[in-house]
Amino acid sequence: MKTVLITGGSGMVGRRLSQLLISKGYKVIWYSRERYVKAKIPRYKWDYRNGYIDNEALQVADYIVHLAGANIGEEKWTRSRKRSIVDSRVQTANLLLDTLMKLGKRPEAFISASAVGYYGTGISESIFTEQDVLNGTDFLSTTCQQWESASKRVQDELGVRTVILRTGVVISRDSDAFRKMMLPVRFGMGSPLGKGNQYLSWIHIDDLCNMYLKAIEDGGMFGVYNAVSPCHVTNAQFMRRLARGMHRPFFMPNVPQFVLRILMGESADLVLGGSRVSAEKIQQEGFKYQYSDVDKAIRTTLKAIAKDKK
């Protein structure tokens, strides 16, 4: 039985991925704030701020899935919040690498999250691929650049196969972003955000977790992959389809950009920008989507949320 060590395992993606891996016969362990090895999913303590890490987890890990990182959309981007967003991704990756090197441990693969924010917050007609080398200066892009550079060190310095998944908005019943989009629609106030012509790169939680599973099992996968649906939709199109799925009207005027800036500050970039992102590379690896259609993804997720309420 192979062991998969997940950082950020208690998060939305980590929990669902853990369930999938266990169902496939893997043993799953987490790095957590507290040690609790008798839990259903054993937890080993780490504290990147103080450079502490329980070596035992790394010693038994066959694969490492690095999902740790402060929620990027949870709070306004103050200077301290920005530092936390970056450090929780970069310093944790560095701590993992430094400890692996000290232990002389080489896992079979290192799989790290990243985000489509790498491509920046501009709006263009370009369809970005993994081959596009960008040097964006906005916070989302620079964060992803640092995040990925830290992860690539595992391959460059330790010789471990490394896969990086640039993830879009995750459609899930547990997604804070999806539930926030649902809220105004529920009250009949659904509308596009900003101009509405910005693209919303999205992926259903099950497809994302199956990509992580493929990255673990497919020894031919390495480097960066866009973890997004091949179905391109704008913010306005997505919000309209969400309203249709919730059987609510969609006639309110666009929410002006300045209002979102007042409410969210710089983090409004999360919803005001975005271009199309290609899913071709992962498809060429043989990955098959369960949810390539946005209406199906929305409908399935809304049903899951309704079921949870019963």
Q: How many structural domains are present in the chain?
A: 1
pTM over 0.75: yes
Domain that holds residue 61: 3-236+261-309
Is residue 267 scored above 70 in pLDDT?
A: no
CA 173, distance to chain mean position in Å, is 15
* Rounded distance between C-alpha atoms, residue 216 and residue 271, angstroms: 31
For residue 244, is it within any domain?
A: no
The closest of 199, 182, 194, 171 to 295, measured between CA atoms, is 171
SS3 labels along 233-261: CEHHHHHHHHHHHCCCCCCCCCECHHHHH
The pLDDT value given to residue 310? 64
The pLDDT value given to residue 56? 96
The pLDDT value given to residue 30? 98
For residue 150, is it within any domain?
A: yes
According to DSSP, the residues that pair with 204 across neighbouring strands are 171
Q: What percentage of the chain reaches a pLDDT higher than 90?
A: 74
For residue 158, is it within any domain?
A: yes
More confident residue, 220 or 255: 220
Write phi, then psi, for 165 (nearest 5 degrees): -110, 110
More confident residue, 59 or 190: 59
Burial of 218: CB neighbours in 10 Å, binned 0-12, 13-18, 19+: middle
What are 130-169's pLDDT values in tens digits? 998 776 788 899 999 999 999 999 999 999 999 999 999 9
Q: What is the CATH number of the domain that holds 289?
A: 3.40.50.720
For residue 86, is it within any domain?
A: yes
Q: What is the mean pLDDT of the chain?
A: 92
